[in-house]
Amino acid sequence: MQPLEDLKAAIKEALPGLDFVIGWENGWNPLLATPLFMYSPEDVDKLTWGPFNVNNPATYLSGLKGKKIGVVVKGCDSRSVVQLLQEKLIRREDLTLFGMPCTGVVDATKIARKVGDLGMISGAKRTNGTLSVTTHEGSVDIPWEEAAADKCLSCQYPNAIISDHFKGDPLPPTLGRDPAAEQLAALEALAPAELFAHWKDAMDRCIRCYACRNACPMCVCRDHCIAQTRDPHWLSQDDTVKEKLMFQMIHSLHLAGRCTECGECQRACPVDIPILALRRKLNSVVKNLFDYQAGVDPSAVPPLFTFQVEEAKINERGW
């Protein structure tokens, strides 16, 4: 793949001025690439690009202050970078961004629904509209729409929004379904008691590992998260569903209007709880109130970082 070779050459050229460059390499499973930290030209040779580059490398950035970092980004990853820059959580001069046009990544959970144990997969290959997955029982062809991450089916930003080195021809936005919006609409249609029952049922299996929090590029308190402080004591150690759901509320509220819907929180959840819907809900509220979408315009001021004396859509007086 020529653009990938060009990208590798650009990374090798930039590497001497950087601490390292973050990208992806093949992982333990053919379906899942894994983050690659490139320190040497030999490391760059391991770089992969394609439907298995699921992880969002922007997750690492806020923890790498003071370093000169290169990052290879998909379009959606670049939105996280933009939002982090808008919030001044990282510095543009410390970053070198590398990009290529993205045609979508897989959702391992959807694939597991078709083939069962991911550990039994011995091969995976995408050819246009199909993902072929090989297990010890043979090969299964999965239509791409049923294998891809929801966000990819209607991706508006398949090319890095900002980059220093972009290789390959930019792609137009994808005009497919938005299954996550459909899922959110279905939840919104539920009566409050049913909705509460839905979340009680889903959150029951939460193991409180906080992978959802730590995978989130915009969740930057990390070691100092209020979920684990004793004072204030927002959450107890008791593993009731109430505490578990309360943390999801905290995370969703802290991400309102900041979340770029990269989906890492839900993907990281080891017990596959469909928690992205909560973030989508809060984002739709912010979109309606402030007509704002996170991480698409480096010069925009996020709505919760400013205020208008008279907000256009908030009726503060005149009740």
Partner 1 sequence: MESSMYLPEASLDAWLAELASSHELIVPRREGDAIVFGPYDPSVSPDISRDATAPPKSSVFPACEEIMRYTSVKDTDDLSKTLVHMEEVMPSGSRVVFGARPCGTRGFTVYDRVFDAPAMHDPYYVARRQSTLFVTLACSEAGSACFCHWVGSGPADASGSDVLLVPVKGGWLAEGVSDKGRELLSSPLLTPGEKYAGEAKAAKAKAMESLDSAADLKPAPEALLAVFDDMEFWNRMSAKCISCGACTYLCPTCYCFNITDENKGMEGSRLRTWDNCMSFQFTLEASGHNPRPTKAHRLKNRVGHKFSYYPGLHGGAIACCGCGRCIKSCPAGVDIRQIVLAAMDRAKASRQGNTTGEHA
Signed CA dihedral, 256, 155, 275, 237: sign only? negative
Is-contact 264 251, C-beta < 8 A?
no
Contact 46, 36 (CB under 8 A): yes
Single residue of 65, 208, 222, 242 touching ligand SF4 by CB under 6 A: 208
Any contact of residue 211 with partner 1 (CB under 8 A)? yes
Say whether residue 259 binds ligand SF4 (CB under 6 A): yes
CA separation for the pair 158, 98 (Å, rounded) = 14
Least CB distance from residue 298 to partner 1, whole Å?
25
Query: How many C-beta neighbours within 10 Å does residue 56 have?
Result: 27
Q: For the chain, first and last CA: distance in Å?
A: 62
- Residues 110-149 contacting partner 1, CB under 8 A: 112-113, 116-122, 136
Considering the rule CB under 6 A, would residue 206 count as an interface residue with ligand SF4?
yes
Interface with ligand SF4, residue 286, by CB under 6 A: no
202 binds partner 1 (CB under 8 A): yes
| In the complex, minimum distance from the CB of residue 10 to ligand SF4, in angstroms, rounded to a whole number | 27
Quickly list H helices, 27-174: 41-44, 75-86, 108-115, 144-147, 150-153
Stretch that binds partner 1, among 72-80, 85-93, 153-161, 268-276 (CB under 8 A): 268-276
Q: What, of ligand SF4, partner 1, none, does residue 73 touch, CB below 5 to 8 Å by kind?
A: none
d(CA 206, CA 209): 8
Q: Site residues (CB under 6 A) for ligand SF4? A: 206-212, 215-218, 255, 259-265, 268-271, 273, 275-276, 279
